[in-house]
Structure 1
Amino acid sequence: MATDNRPLGGVGPARRRGLADEVADSVRAAIFDGTYPPGTQLRETELSSALEVSRGPVREALMCLEGEGLLRSGWHRGAVVVELSGEDVAEIDSLRGTLEHLAVRLAVERASEEDLDTLARVADRMRRAEDAHELVALDIAFHDAVYAAGGHRRLQEAWHTIRSQVHLFLVSRIGVSVEDYLATVPGEHRDLVEALRARDPEAALRLFADHRSHALHVLTGRDRA
């Protein structure tokens, strides 16, 4: 039956770069493109067969992804793609907001015209995204570029510790409302670029906070403030 192979449909053979890294890349991509939705159980034997590698690299990759906050392991359950709880959502949002506050202030002060042009190109690509998962990937790329524009290496490293969880947060958001995400996010990011170009820190911080608040309210089912 078609459903028997569905969980592995988006995963192909791993390239030989560092097998555990390659397996982690493949599984992470399958989580982010919706092949493995939250709650999916990932079995070492099935992944080993699909990726054409031994179980050792698969086990190492799953441990890596658990460290990123994408998987949880349970007794007799193996690895399961995280379903974000209300507490998870609140913690990811609050930490993201704290980091992003500094990132936006630094970007307002330090972003070069080239940095701003990069952000504008990403925002423009968002309007042409073919589906919500592509749009989520561009959303993350946009925020990568904001952190890069701030020129603060340790802040970028801190962002990368939660980046996968923010990506999962956004994947969970489109699980609630694809239509809202496709309709509102490209325009919100265009406005964020203009706020950064204006070099007005308070206006930029307000728009970035509104952007995060909208995502949080959609995911938690509350009316937008």
Structure 2
Amino acid sequence: MTTPAPGRAGRRGLAEESADRIREAILAGEVPPGGPLREVELATGLGVGRGSVREGLWILEREGLIRSAWHRGTTVIDITPDDIREVYAVRAALDRLAAVTARDTATEAQLGELDGLVGTMAAEVAGNPAGPRLVALDIAFHDAVYVAAGNRRLTEAWRAVRSQVHLFQLRRVALGFTHYRARVVDEHRELAGLIRSGERETLARTAEEHVNSAHRGLLAHVP
């Protein structure tokens, strides 16, 4: 397998740009779970030095998206049942707290953004839905919830698992898109409505079950 060259890096900060481009390639499926990431090939494809690539890979390793081992080199994380259980357990706790906090702190503009994202999801599903596009909207919705919650440390905790969640959700869609497509709009519409005016405990349960449902759906298909 040849490591992809997903576009040359810009000047924003070569390590950060390199991390962004490599992350995009992973989430686009150009490097599968367990696939290798070769430093020399990445540096050539991105048009940067190996030091920048090395720093970019370190950023992605901190996100949990890749792993480095002396005897194996650097690879995209595998998606195993244990990985799924750990990531979704953390996410369930974070999403529950983010949702109930956002209920108390969200501005009208932030609530409108959540409603707008649900509307965009609905339009996507009504048309010719693409799984990766729906997952991107799904992640954007939860990003907006964390912003609305206004808790910096909570947001940092979300960012620590966000890339893994994105990768796992893409895998979930690849294995069972029909199930995901049938639920994605209604589940997020319910969350948006409860954040706007719902009872606190109902919202907490709903936010947690939203994550647990995704957890079960992915586990059902992963060996």
Shift of 1:176: 2.0
Unpaired runs of 5+ residues, structure 2, are none
Contact 2:114 2:145 in 1 (8 A): yes
Contact 1:122 1:138 in 2 (8 A): yes
Q: Percent identity?
A: 44
Determine the C-alpha separation between the residues in 1 that align with 2:108 and 2:201: 20
SS at structure 2 position matched to 1:36 = coil
Which string of whole-angstrom CA distances, capped at 9 and with x for unpartnered residues, describes residues 100-140 of structure 1? Answer: 22211111222222111010111111223442112112111
Amino acid at match of 1:151: G
Shift of 1:67: 1.4
SS at structure 2 position matched to 1:12 = coil
Q: Structure 1 residue runs of 4+, over 6 Å off? A: none
Q: Which residue of 2 aligns with 1:153?
A: 152
Which string of whole-angstrom CA distances, capped at 9 and with x for unpartnered residues, describes residues 59-86 of structure 1? Answer: 1111221111011122343211111222
Match of 1:69 among 64, 73, 86: 64
Query: What does 1:125-144 align with in structure 2 at a 5 Å threshold?
Result: 125-129=120-124, 130-144=129-143
Match of 2:36 among 32, 37, 41: 41
Are 1:14 and 2:6 an aligned pair? no
Contact 1:42 1:79 in 2 (8 A): yes
Q: Which residue of 1 aligns with 2:203?
A: 204
Are 1:93 and 2:96 an aligned pair? no
Determine the C-alpha separation between the residues in 2 that align with 1:14 and 1:76: 29
Unpaired runs of 5+ residues, structure 1, are none
Determine the C-alpha separation between the residues in 2 that align with 1:75 and 1:158: 28
Amino acid at match of 1:113: E
Q: Which residue of 2 aligns with 1:122?
A: 117
Q: Which residue of 2 aligns with 1:59?
A: 54
Which string of whole-angstrom CA distances, capped at 9 and with x for unpartnered residues, describes residues 154-203 of structure 1? Answer: 21122222222221221221232122222221221112111222231122
Contact 1:23 1:58 in 2 (8 A): yes
TM-score by length of 2: 0.89
Q: Which deviates more, 36-45 or 168-177? A: 168-177
Determine the C-alpha separation between the residues in 1 that align with 2:131 and 2:83: 22
Contact 1:109 1:199 in 2 (8 A): no
Shift of 1:220: 0.6
Amino acid at match of 2:4: L
SS at structure 1 position matched to 2:75 = strand
Alpha-carbon RMSD? 1.8
Which string of whole-angstrom CA distances, capped at 9 and with x for unpartnered residues, describes residues 11-50 of structure 1? Answer: 0111122111111000011111222221211111211121
SS at structure 2 position matched to 1:177 = helix
Amino acid at match of 1:47: L
Determine the C-alpha separation between the residues in 1 that align with 2:123 and 2:20: 25
